[in-house]
Structure 1
Amino acid sequence: MSGHQPVEPICVRVNEAARMIGVGRTKLYQLIATGELETVKIGKATRVTTASLQKFVELRVSDRWH
């Protein structure tokens, strides 16, 4: 046994980000454009931070209960 823990990604591809929060690519790009989701550019590739995805969902859940 190597003792290595699985590494949680800190950013994901656009398609994966859309799947994670249950929206399409167009909606995801709208959320990026409005600043609701944070991105990182790696070369020409755009990645969405998992922290911003989690925050986005948490805000929607707390809004629902208030």
Structure 2
Amino acid sequence: MPTKALYTVAEATAILSLSRTVIYELMRSGRLRSVREGAARRIPAGAIAEYVALLETESIGQAA
């Protein structure tokens, strides 16, 4: 089953278990990449994976 290439903000909130406000703040700060499709923002699947990897890296750095 193929994964989606782009997710809506609502889908990203469900995937990452974060609020809509936090998702938009992450996009504004550049920690979560997004693209514009017309008037809407979409989050590439790879950007979600990159954000999770970033969190894991930061977690490892704090544990050391």
Query: TM-score interval w.r.t. the shorter chain?
Result: 0.7 to 0.9
CA RMSD of aligned residues (A): 1.2
Q: Deviation of residue 63 (structure 1)?
A: 2.3
Alignment partners' CA distance in 2, 1:40 and 1:7: 20
* Residue aligning to 1:24: 19
* Partner of residue 9 from structure 2, selected from 1, 10, 14: 14
Unpaired stretches in structure 2, ≥5 consecutive residues: none
Unpaired stretches in structure 1, ≥5 consecutive residues: 1-5
Number of aligned residues: 61
Instruction: Kindly provide the CA deviation profile for residues 19-55 of structure 1, in whole angstroms up to 9, marking residues without a partner as x.
Output: 1111000000000000111111111121111111111
Q: Which runs of 4+ in 1 moved over 4 A?
A: none
Q: Percent identity?
A: 25
Residue 39 of structure 1 contacts residue 48 of structure 1 at CA under 8 Å; is this kept in 2?
Answer: yes
Q: Which has the larger radius of gyration?
A: 1
User: Normalized against structure 2, the TM-score is what?
Assistant: 0.83
Alignment partners' CA distance in 2, 1:33 and 1:63: 19
Q: Secondary structure at the match of 1:41?
A: strand
Q: Which has the higher helix share?
A: 2
